[in-house]
Homo-oligomer: A and B are copies of this chain.
Amino acid sequence: MTQMPPAHPFDDDALHEECGVFGVGGVADAANFVALGLHALQHRGQEAGGIVSHDAEHGFNSARRFGYVRDNFTKQSLMDTLPGPLAIGHVRYSTSGSKGNTQIRDVQPFFGEFSAGGAAIAHNGNIVNANALRRELIERGSIFQSNSDSECIIHLMARSLQRRVPERMQDALRRVEGAFSIVAMTRTKLIGVRDPLGVRPLVLGRLGEGWVLSSETCALDIIGAEFVREVEPGEMVIVENDVLTSHRPFAPRKPRFCVFEHVYFSRPDSILGGRSVYETRRQIGVELAREAPVEADLVCPVPDSGTPAAIGFSQESGIPYAMGIIRNQYMGRTFIEPTEQIRNMGVRLKLNVNRALIRGKRVVLVDDSVVRGTTSIKIREMILDAGAAEVHFRIASPPTAWPCFYGVDTPDRDKLLAASMSEAEMRDHLGVDSLRFISLDGLYRAVGEAGGRDAESPQYCDACFSGDYPIEPSDRIEQGFELKTAAE
């Protein structure tokens, strides 16, 4: 089995968006644009990527590779095998089903040949009843190629009694519970769908006469496409012959977009829900400075994701902003067959303290989140080794106390520091002079909800902070996961 090389020793102390999707229809050599789009979405999934294209002469063609988009899908010889005006692509981190053990057959897009013709789909999100669906499908004779939950969708489509692919997809998605933003294609159609809650993002762009679907707007920019609008929660868009039609296959529900996309997953140069992600993060820093002020000499981001909030914190507090921690630009994600020493280096391979700057200073470190806390401890050690007088952590998200079941790779609940410790206990555990998280209301204010979180009917999915799951995670409950009780 071709297996994924081992991840970084310190990689397990962050949350990972599992996927990015991108599709282009009605443009010559569509796969080239998909490759660029996926490159811009690489932060959503660094493990592997795939592209499927279609042209009249060669039919469907597919390439799936481990590694970065730029190392695979920039080569002429590979891209020549992906001709045609219609193409979709996918980058992935890893599925919930097979962490650290992905095989190439798990890499999307998935393709199926139906009696009505073939279709390929790329899925961002997670199906919470996938185990049950898989059991049922195997019982009825379906053979799964992969360990990916997303493959259920294509089998449900294959078994639909509808004749046309869009109707088959609607049939299939009505059986599926969970969060999904899907980009799909038939021989002639580009299709985009978003689940009724709209948990994961999906945007629509225009490239000349053609159309583009993308997880984020930053990937429209790289190919020079114009941002048109978001695909709406519960909407299915179908592009055929340069004409876009909109469909509503699901019962309407109040949207619950993932608030963590604003905090961490999306790129700062993307626009989500009409707001600049960068500006939202800077505003989180402003809110943090108001909620949790501190006397200090420097505000330093933990690179790179803490930077916008650190800028905001500095601007609101008046404490000078400085690059106290320098990131090595030449770090990739993984090592093949690393030496013992490399295995033990951890975060020092990636970050170094700016010793001359830090010595004797009271330092505010702004980070995006605390997951297991292991990286935070190493950073605190490095900062104190360099002679800092005080270390104050300010975290640009509320405590992450619950796992995500909607497409983000989270540790089990017992590995989450915030699941078992109070803020004060975490401060002592991390060994810092102070530790403060932004409040849930502060976060909602930063994303533009001036009145904060509507506790009765929250405006976002914030299950990872609140334990309030808008879609019941049925497979996990079957496996023993316990929902938050009224008492908690």
B158 close to A69 (CB less than 8 A): no
Q: How far is the CA of A139 from the CA of B115 in the complex (A)?
A: 5
- Given A278-B323, A329-B43, A269-B308 contact (CB < 8 Å): no
Q: How far is the CA of A23 from the CA of B200 in the complex (A)?
A: 47
Interface segment among A352-360, A387-395, A399-407, A438-446: the answer is: A352-360
Report if A70 contacts B (CB, 8 A): yes
A221 close to B353 (CB less than 8 A): yes
Q: Give the chain B neighbours of A326 by CB distance below 8 A.
A: 218, 267-269, 278
- Given A1-B61, A71-B332, A329-B304, A356-B271 contact (CB < 8 Å): yes
* Cβ contact of A143, chosen from B36, B68, B113, B338, cutoff 8 A: B113
- Given A75-B338, A348-B222, A352-B218, A331-B70 contact (CB < 8 Å): yes
- Given A39-B330, A71-B332, A357-B139 contact (CB < 8 Å): no
A311 close to B315 (CB less than 8 A): no
Q: Mark A57-97, 1 if CB is under 8 A from B, else 0.
A: 00001110000111100111101010000000000000000
Q: How far is the CA of A184 from the CA of B359 in the complex (A)?
A: 33
Query: Which of A115, A279, A321 lies at the interface centre, i.e. has the most chain B CB atoms within 10 A of its CB?
Result: A115
A279 close to B39 (CB less than 8 A): no
- Give chain A interface residues in 32-49, CB to chain B under 8 Å: 32, 35-36, 39-40, 42-43, 46
Q: How far is the CA of A349 from the CA of B221 in the complex (A)?
A: 10
Report if A275 contacts B (CB, 8 A): yes
Contact size class for A? Answer: 35 or more
- Give chain A interface residues in 311-362, CB to chain B under 8 Å: 311, 315, 320-323, 326, 328-332, 335-342, 345, 348-349, 352-357
A113 close to B138 (CB less than 8 A): yes
- Given A336-B75, A354-B278, A355-B221, A268-B330 contact (CB < 8 Å): no
Report if A141 contacts B (CB, 8 A): yes
B356 close to A43 (CB less than 8 A): no
Report if A189 contacts B (CB, 8 A): no
Report if A459 contacts B (CB, 8 A): no
B69 close to A330 (CB less than 8 A): yes
Report if A142 contacts B (CB, 8 A): yes
Report if A112 contacts B (CB, 8 A): yes
Query: Which of A71, A221, A356 lies at the interface centre, i.e. has the most chain B CB atoms within 10 A of its CB?
Result: A356
A141 close to B113 (CB less than 8 A): no
Q: Give the chain B neighbours of A356 by CB distance below 8 A.
A: 271, 275-276, 278-279
Q: List 26 A-B contacts (CB under 8 A).
A: A32-B341, A36-B341, A39-B349, A70-B349, A71-B332, A74-B338, A74-B339, A74-B342, A76-B337, A105-B105, A114-B138, A115-B135, A141-B142, A143-B143, A143-B155, A143-B158, A221-B353, A222-B348, A267-B326, A267-B352, A271-B356, A275-B356, A276-B354, A276-B357, A304-B329, A321-B321
Closest 10 CB pairs of A and B: A276-B356, A141-B159, A269-B326, A42-B330, A141-B158, A112-B143, A269-B354, A115-B139, A74-B342, A75-B337
